[in-house]
Chains A and B, each alone.
Chain A
Amino acid sequence: MTQEIEIAGLSKVFGQGASAFRALTDINLSIDTGEFFTLLGPSGCGKTTLLRMIAGFEHPTGGTLKIAGEEMAGKGPNARPVNTVFQSYALFPHMTVAQNIGFGLKMLGKSRSEVDTTVAEMLRLVRMEPMADRKPSEISGGQQQRVALARALAPRPRVLLLDEPLSALDLKLRKEMQSELKRLQTETGITFVFVTHDQEEALTMSDRIAVMSAGRILQLGTPHDIYHAPAERFVADFIGDTNFLDLPVTAISGDVATLTLPGGQSAEARLPAGYLPVIGETVTAVVRPEQAVLGEPGSGMLSGTVASSVFFGTDTHLHLTLSDGQDFILRRQNTADLPVPQPGTPVGITLGAGTLRVLRS
């Protein structure tokens, strides 16, 4: 697989001297051709700055950025084979839907007939044919979103950049557009770089995710890796619900550590790559709430008591207090009409094999 975007040692500092703000630090990244790649992080983590640098709206303070093997330094947005779907859509209000979609091709100097053909094709692709002659103010938010997509796809860019494009839509429309985006990406085969702060959006749509915080990439991997094998506390905390347990290490064998659980039982936990704690050290281990199974008191590896429970319909979240006082959340699927345990009920907790993981600290 070829690499569409290669970023090495990229950094960005805004301002100078005492008021300087380091927006990005040492970003190394390569994005494959045809990949759906997501930059995920909270607001202010630098994900949009990184996107704007790929687009050419910002220029790096250091490092290199290559698109399709070509160094992009000194090239403006109009000289890069990438197009952007803006958060606000930024449709040209004085032009019709068709004129908006055709704008990029017109600027590239394509012939009138080629522009018309591509615009018609794009209108079909985003199912907006009946709206071709409307102005952006005369169509709904979801439709504007489709036009913004069609406009960015029309010049057939190497890479499509999407800056939180779904954040302005309501939940139902957002779900629709998620599958629509996935469909468009598959149909066009264009590399998508998608920026979002919504972890669910990132997990469901991406081939790979880079989790960012404070201007750095903390972890880069498939949605599966990011969810099941978070390397750092921030990643584990930002994506999904997690139980954090502080446990002492009693033995290490390869990349597996043996930890002592509250109550004295031992459990094995996978270590993140490149992290080796010493015997006796207390590390933070994580287990997802749905990976723990509720049992009778005395069963399983952990014991605790029920502090409270919240009924969610498909599942019930049980807030437990472990024997050593640490909190633990357990998610029980409501596969049958099970009684909800009352607060104070003693319970046993079984952890599935391989579910406990040590975080880098």
Chain B
Amino acid sequence: MAKSFSVRRLPGFGAIALATFVMLYLPIVVLVVFSFNAGSSQSQWEGFSLQWYAAAFANQQVQEVSIRSLWLAAVAAGVATALAVPAALGTTRVSRFPGQTMIYALINQPLMVPEIVTGIALLIVVAWLKVHTGYTGMGYLVLAHTAFCIPFAYLPIRARLETLDATLESAASDLYASPFQAFRFITLPLLVPGIAAGFMLSFVISLDTVVITEFVKSAGQDTLPTYMLGQLRRIITPEMNAIATLFLALSLIFVTAFFLITRKRG
């Protein structure tokens, strides 16, 4: 009897899979392990200690950039999500119109265009704006992060909308709901998981963005990732590992929340 095709029986499948996982996760494991090193080496284990975490928490600069990163991510993700909801509604809950695919591509442009290109483009425009307006505040970073986060907020919301039966909205209007009431009482509550997922994802993306922040920020506007990048140019102590581990934990919390929210459908 012929067996059905299974990729798992191909020669080398297991070895390649294992190598891939090792390549992906071993460095992270090493990073996390050495964040607990009692010594200051990245290669020699000298016993367990939380001293680098204590050092990271005590570091004024780390506190400052972390807070900046968190509120920047919260604002950017919040605004991006608020914009993504009408964008998703406008591209799914309407009859097809000319240019729809074009708009879809434009909304998702930040996913397609190399980040470095967006970064340089923003650098030029922002530099010009700074000269002409004299304003050098956080507004540029907020705007840049928001724009960059929109597709990450848009995609889960759109995905959720596409699984939502449009008949529900018809049923609401059949039961005397105005278009706004149908949105308020039916679409919006059912869209909450998508909205939450979109927010989480864009929050993590904003937290993680290095390239765009690096090009747009003014002096004294370092975020956690750009600060870490700056520190790496000097000496690398396990304090960096501790910060990176905390950062990883935070991201994991958000990604797990994203996963749990999107998994629970209906």
Q: Mark B159-178, 1 if CB is under 8 A from A, else 0.
A: 00000010110111111111
Q: Report which of A77, A83, A93 forms a contact with B266, defined as CB distance below 8 A.
A: A93
**Can you name the residue of chain A whose Cβ is closest to the Cβ of B169?**
A90
In the complex, A38→B168 CA distance in Å?
24
Interface members, chain B 162-212 (any A CB < 8 Å): 165, 167-168, 170-178, 181, 185-186, 189-190
* B177 and A107 contact, CB distance less than 8 A: yes
| Total chain B interface residues with beta-carbon distance under 8 A | 18
Residue of A nearest to B266 (CB): A93
B174, B177, B178: which has the most chain A beta carbons within 10 Å? B174
A250 to B230, CA, bound (A): 106
- Closest chain B residue to A79 by CB distance? B176
Per-residue CB contact flags for chain A residues 259-289 toward chain B (1 = under 8 Å, else 0) read: 0000000000000000000000000000000
Q: Is A108 an interface residue (CB 8 A)?
A: yes
The answer to whether A155 touches B176 (Cβ under 8 A) is yes
Check A90–B165 contact: CB distance below 8 A: yes
- A77 to B164 Cα, complex, angstroms: 20
Question: A86–B172 Cα gap in the complex (Å)?
Answer: 12
Residues of B within 8 A of A57 (CB): 170, 174
Let me know if A303 is at the binding interface, CB within 8 A.
no
Contact with B along A103-132 (1 / 0, CB 8 A): 110011000000000000000000000000
Write the chain A residue with the least CB distance to B176.
Answer: A107
Knowing A93-B190, A93-B266, A94-B189, the reply to whether A83 touches B172 (Cβ < 8 A) is no
Residues on B with beta carbons closer than 8 Å to the beta carbon of A93:
168, 190, 266
Given contact pairs A88-B165, A90-B165, A151 touches B175 in the complex (Cβ within 8 A): yes
A104/B190 in contact, CB under 8 A: no
Query: With a CB–CB cut-off of 8 A, which chain B residues contact A344?
Result: none
Within 8 A of B (CB), among A207-247: none
Complexed CA–CA distance, A91 and B174 (Å):
12
A155 to B266, CA, bound (A): 27
A133-152 residues with Cβ-Cβ distance < 8 A to B are 137, 151-152
- Given A86-B167, A88-B167, A137-B266, A78 and B174 contact (CB-CB distance below 8 Å): yes
In the bound assembly, the distance between CA atoms of A99 and B177 in angstroms comes to 14
Most A C-beta atoms less than 10 A away, residue of B165, B185, B190: B185
Residues on B with C-beta less than 8 A from A82 are 174
When chains A and B are docked, how far (Å) is the Cα of A193 from the Cα of B142? 56
Residues in A with CB closer than 8 Å to B177 are 78, 103, 107
Q: Is the CB of B181 within 8 A of A84?
A: no
Tell me if A90 and B266 are in contact (CB < 8 A).
Answer: no
Chain A residue at smallest Cβ distance from B166? A90
**B189 nearest in chain A by CB position:** A94
Among A88, A94, A104, the residue within 8 A (CB) of B175 is A104
Name the residue of chain B whose CB is nearest to the CB of A55.
Answer: B174
Q: How far is the CB of A149 from chain B (nearest CB, A)?
A: 13
Q: Mark A58-89, 1 if CB is under 8 A from B, else 0.
A: 00000000000000000011100011101010
CA distance A165 to B165 in the complex (A): 17
In the assembled complex, the Cα of A118 lies from the Cα of B167 at a distance in Å of: 24
Give chain B residues whose Cβ lies under 8 Å from the Cβ of A152.
174-175
Residue numbers in B under 8 Å from A56 (CB-CB): 174
Which residues of A have CB within 8 Å of B189? 94
Residues of B near any A CB (own CB < 8 A): 165, 167-168, 170-178, 181, 185-186, 189-190, 266
Q: Give 17 pairs: A residue, B residue, CB < 8 Å, sorted on A.
A: A76-B173, A77-B174, A78-B176, A83-B174, A84-B174, A86-B171, A88-B165, A88-B167, A90-B165, A92-B171, A92-B186, A93-B266, A94-B189, A103-B177, A104-B175, A104-B176, A152-B175
Query: 6 shortest A-B CB distances, which residue pairs?
Result: A104-B175, A90-B171, A107-B176, A90-B167, A77-B173, A107-B177
